[in-house]
Amino acid sequence: MFVVSRADEVPLSGGDVTAGVVRVGDTVRRPLKATSSAVHALLRHLEAAGFDAAPRVLGIDELGREVLSFVPGEVYSPFPPGDDVLAELARLQRRYHDAVRGFMPDARWESGSADDAEPEVVGHCDITPENVVFRDGLPVALIDFDMARPVSRLFDVVTTLRHWAPIADPVDRDHPDLDTGRRIRIFADAYGLSAAERLRLLPTARLRFDRSYTAMKHKAETEGGGWAVMWESGAGQRIRRAAAWLDANEDDLHRFLQ
């Protein structure tokens, strides 16, 4: 049992979706969701597999919140634009995919978009800058597994690239000068994408835009909360602009994947 005085609680901002995330000492408390038992099974699987780059599940506190280990380090938004950061993130996602291989319980995962490929892993599906912890300038851990669900590895990879290459219209970028094609190549090499996956990467990213637009719109309408705030702040239009930018640049980007 974790008994704390609420005076010890430090609000953790930076996320878009979950209200009431707080730090208490070396722990993080988050409200339980319908998908929490699936996410806890995932985090316990990662722990048993020796994957050290995710929070540990410590239990449920007296207020009915999940208790996770606090991962020390920094969370950056905007993300640091270095190539070494991107390559390290790719290796981290690959290590995650290798650690979850074979873990596919019949469980209630968060709903969300996917491609049409057979699911290969329980992907993180939300590797945004706000969900990556850094130490000494490099990514060392993934947090916030709330969006985890069965997908192809490539679908999880294009979700990460959407944020970190990034695959975005220049008006929506924090770093307007980054060369997206070169960075997709750096990620693909560091992750170890196969030739077949490289060929499917851009079509999968394109498909993801249409499906995540529909999925986010649905969550904003049915769940409200942070999803509605994101939608009202223009998330849907950012997705539409990113899709149009990808259409206009797909041939140029493709050259980096051959």
Binding residues vs ligand ADP (CB under 6 A)? 12, 14-18, 21, 28, 30, 55, 68, 70-71, 75, 130-131, 133, 143-144, 146
Q: Which is nearer to Mg ion, 85 or 132 (CB)?
A: 132
Count CA atoms within 13 Å of residue 91 on its CB side.
Answer: 10
Residue 131 binds to Mg ion (criterion: CB under 5 A): yes
Query: With respect to ligand ADP, which residue has the nearer C-beta, 83 or 110?
Result: 110
Q: Which residues are registered as beta bridge partners of 142?
A: 132
Q: Which does 103 bind (CB under 5 to 8 A by kind): ligand ADP, Mg ion, none?
A: none
Partner whose footprint covers residue 28, from ligand ADP, Mg ion, none (CB < 5 to 8 Å by kind): ligand ADP
3-state secondary structure of 150: strand
Residue 55 or 139 having the CB closest to ligand ADP: 55
Which residues are CB-contacts of 225 (< 8 A; sequence separation ≥ 6)?
Answer: 17, 19
Report how far Cα 178 is from the mean position of its chain's Cα atoms.
Answer: 20
- 181, 252 in Cβ contact below 8 A? yes
Least distance in angstroms from the C-beta of 126 to Mg ion: 7
Could you tell me if 79 and 43 are in contact, meaning their C-beta atoms sit under 8 angstroms apart?
A: no
Residues 58-97: x where in contact with Mg ion by CB under 5 A, - otherwise, as a string: ----------------------------------------
Interacting stretch for Mg ion, rule CB under 5 A, among 9-17, 153-161, 198-206, 240-248?
Answer: 9-17
Q: Choose among Mg ion, ligand ADP, none what residue 49 binds, the Cβ cut-off being 5 to 8 Å by kind.
A: none
Q: Distances in Å between the alpha carbon of 258 and those of 81, 181, 204, 213, 245?
A: 24, 11, 16, 29, 20
| Binding-site member from 15, 112, 129, 139 for Mg ion (CB under 5 A) | 15
Give which of ligand ADP, Mg ion, none residue 71 binds (C-beta under 5 to 8 Å, depending on kind): ligand ADP
Indicate which of Mg ion, ligand ADP, none lies near residue 21 (CB less than 5 to 8 Å, by partner kind).
ligand ADP
**CB-based contact 201:157 (threshold 8 Å):** yes
DSSP annotation of 26: T
Angle between helices 235-254 and 180-191 (to 10 degrees): 80
Q: Determine the interface stretch with Mg ion among 34-42, 55-63, 136-144, 160-168 (rule: CB under 5 A).
A: 136-144
d(CA 203, CA 253): 11
Site for Mg ion in 140-169 (CB under 5 A): 144
Q: Return the number of the residue (113 or 131) whose C-beta is nearest ligand ADP.
A: 131
Q: CB 223 → ligand ADP: shortest distance, Å? A: 13
Integer angstrom CA distances of residue 99 from 126, 141, 157: 17, 13, 15
Kindly list the residues in this chain that would bind Mg ion in the complex (CB under 5 A).
15, 130-131, 144
